Amino acid sequence: MNIICNKSSGHFHLYNDRISYIIAVAPSGELTNIYFGKRIHDRDNFSYVIFQMGMPNIAVDADTESYSMELNRQEYPSFGTTDFGMPAFEVETENGSRISSFVYKSHSIYKGKKELTGLPATYANEEKEAMTLEVLLEDEQAKIVLTLFYTIFDNYPVVARHAEFRNEGKDTVKLTKALSCCLDLPDQNYEMMQFTGAWARERIPEVRKLTNGITAVESKRGTSSANFNPFVIMKRPKTDDFSGEAFGFSFVYSGNFIAAAEGSTYGRLRIVMGINPERFTWILESEESFVTPEVVIAHTDLGLNDLSRTYHRLYNNNLVRGKWKNRPRPILNNNWEATYMDFTEESILNIASKAKQAGVELFVLDDGWFGERDDDFAGLGDWVENPKKLPQGMAGLSRKINAMGLDFGFWIEPEMVNPNSNLYRRHPEWVLAVPGRKPSLGRHQLVLDFSRKEVVDYIYNMLYKVISGASISYIKWDMNRPLTEVFSMDSPPEKQGMIYHKYVLGVYSLYTRLIETFPDILFESCSSGGNRFDAGMLYYAPQAWCSDNTDAIDRLRIQYGSSYGYPIVSIGSHVSNVPNQQTGRSTSIATRANVAYFGTYGYELDLNEISSKDFEEVKEQIEFMKKYRELIQFGDFYRLRSPFETDQTAWMVVSKDKKKAIVGFYCMKSNVNTLPGFLRLAGLDEETLYKMEDREYYGDELMNMGITLSEFYNKGFTISEDYSSFVSVIEAV
């Protein structure tokens, strides 16, 4: 890894073993992109790449009379001079002008990576892990300094980018758009893979062909959202999981966002990502700075499995922090689907005791333990134990659960308040709402104004009391409605455009305080399942409840889709009861576990209520997961067969030394009178002899010829039964 600065030609070349990212100071003084992709040699001068010929009906820089931003690739483009594409930012100065020209002033190159104050971001623990280039550009008239940050990691084909604006003038200016990055590519032969859905059907991959014009996904819900995930892939049309070129764009942020690709009619493809400019206006007063969140851009020429593994490794090693970083996760039992809010301490202890017998390690008490919370009409905001349900409070319950030999954790939803709560009756001005207008409800609740420090402080103090008084090793932080009527009763009119972002900063600040005070607690983020499943959250909560849909067959799609951008160990996945409470579908306890193994693993049911035969199986499942969780959660993950293309799905994990692997195969729908065929495995060592079930195979045999599915699975005319599955361990002999 290195960053070369060639002073005479004015170019910067960031490279490691796999990638080169080359930028240069353009003749106009702005920054232009020369190249991003597979590693190439450096040379003295790349200025031949810059296009400087006249073309009809374009605008050119007045000094050179030949350089047009529109005909070149920009690093952080403005609109209003010589480029007509999507800008990365817009600054409105006091005279109403929105024209900017940020030209190169200086740069610095250093080892390591700086933090982004108040924001989540990848980090480099040691200086040799990463190098950073900061390029300082200035708009001399507006007296605003723009710094573009580029970090290249030694071990990953990744460049992390963000920008910072600093107002060095006397006048206040408005940032009406401040995205995190722009990457212009020289051709448009790409498809955009996006991860879309809604509640209970999150992160389903969809592919759109790119062409002239704009293709975009966004969130305006205040969270990153289940509807469009802040992760997109731009891939060559033939790129699949095993081969081909692609770029990934992962936004390390949990609020409104936009990810857009724009094909210009001159052939350029522009990709931008950042905070959604809709309803965003940041007032930047003299001497103030605004820092954008980070985008992690990854490149592969080896297919999408390789791209995903880059994100898995980078996020496990350089985004997740604290005690739970790279640690196998406890097997838990959560009572939500078992009881909903209808429980007593006795019924909870009953569930926990059976869980302990099965081998579970952590018991989690979900929603309903506080205030007047017997249904979802009341109680949010009143973070005090309900004595009818917990006579000795959280302290008493946690002690009793600990005495059984289980760790204990519980559920919170700190950003919300029910109108029927003591908190709302005392502080109706603490919610996001426009005075005099009725605020919209979501699950009968309102959103607290987390842009206000006193609101965050108040919630922190209430939670502190409950947590510090009890023995808590896990917290599930939920968030169950989108933001609407985003107006803060504490902010002046001109600052209302800052509230969406300040809200997210408030959420991050509460997380930071809780993590700093209780560093051993494992946080799991949740937002009606997967409404805030993003890289930003992983900085605080190393795992996320991936979906409220616990149906094994639907989960195959959801977990498969989630694996493109997020580590397996971050995917909250549990076995629940059948018929499934979201879909009505019944699957065997074996298949439910075979799916849930590929995540954090746990049970979302009362184990007293399953048959004794199933209970015996559950004990074996827990033993299996304890033995193999490190491999599953931190091994190299390969998608083998897509649930979106066939009626079967398969995936596998391989240990770093390639001596062990586990493959999961699932039949979502049986196909009568078809041959089961073969399943080609991946990631093994070609020369090694492996044992899988009763047979030995060479790695090259498993990867090229594949396993004969009929041996594992199918007997007779059908390709097995609907919802059948197997999970098989492969070990080097």
Give the residues lining the site for ligand DGJ (CB under 6 A).
336, 366-367, 411, 478, 480, 526, 528-529, 545, 548
Judged by phi (left if over 0) then psi (alpha if -120 to 50, else beta), residue 723 lies in: left
CA distances from 419 to 310, 368, 446, 462, 484 (A): 45, 16, 7, 18, 15
Nearest approach, Cβ of 572 to ligand DGJ (angstroms)? 9
Radius of gyration over every alpha carbon of the chain, rounded to an integer in angstroms: 27
Nearest approach, Cβ of 411 to ligand DGJ (angstroms)? 5
Shorter beta-carbon distance to ligand DGJ: residue 582 or 642: 582
Nearest approach, Cβ of 439 to ligand DGJ (angstroms)? 20
Distance CA 696, CA 12 (A): 51
Shorter beta-carbon distance to ligand DGJ: residue 526 or 575: 526
Handedness of CA 534, 536, 538, 541 (dihedral sign): negative
The residue nearest ligand DGJ at its CB is: 367
Is residue 548 annotated as part of the catalytic site, yes or no? yes
Nearest approach, Cβ of 547 to ligand DGJ (angstroms)? 8
Residue tagged active-site, from 61, 478, 534, 606:
478
Residue tagged active-site, from 241, 548, 551, 554:
548
Nearest approach, Cβ of 515 to ligand DGJ (angstroms)? 20
DSSP symbols for 95-163: TS------EEEEEEEEES----TTS-----SSGGGEEEEEEEEEETTTTEEEEEEEEEESSSSEEEEEE
Contacts of 410 (CB under 8 A, 6+ apart): 364, 365, 366, 369, 394, 472, 474, 475, 476
Shorter beta-carbon distance to ligand DGJ: residue 443 or 656: 443
CB atoms within 10 A of CB 545: 29
Shorter beta-carbon distance to ligand DGJ: residue 147 or 334: 334
Nearest approach, Cβ of 550 to ligand DGJ (angstroms)? 9
Distance CA 496, CA 356 (A): 50
Closest CA to 628 of 389, 340, 329, 198: 329
Nearest approach, Cβ of 604 to ligand DGJ (angstroms)? 8
Is 270:292 a contact under the CB 8 Å cutoff? Answer: no
Nearest approach, Cβ of 413 to ligand DGJ (angstroms)? 7
3-state SS string over 192-237? EEEEECCCCCCCEEEEEECCEEEEEEEECCCCCCCCECCEEEEECC
Is residue 478 annotated as part of the catalytic site, yes or no? yes
Shorter beta-carbon distance to ligand DGJ: residue 18 or 373: 373
Shorter beta-carbon distance to ligand DGJ: residue 262 or 478: 478
Shorter beta-carbon distance to ligand DGJ: residue 148 or 526: 526
CB atoms within 10 A of CB 705: 13
Shorter beta-carbon distance to ligand DGJ: residue 282 or 369: 369
Residues composing the chain? 733
109-116: long-range contacts (C-beta < 8 A, 24 or more apart)? 109/3, 109/5, 109/133, 109/134, 110/134, 113/151, 113/160, 114/149, 116/162, 116/291, 116/293, 116/294
Q: Which two tokens stand for residue 40?
A: 């190439």
Question: What is the set of active-site residues?
Answer: 478, 548
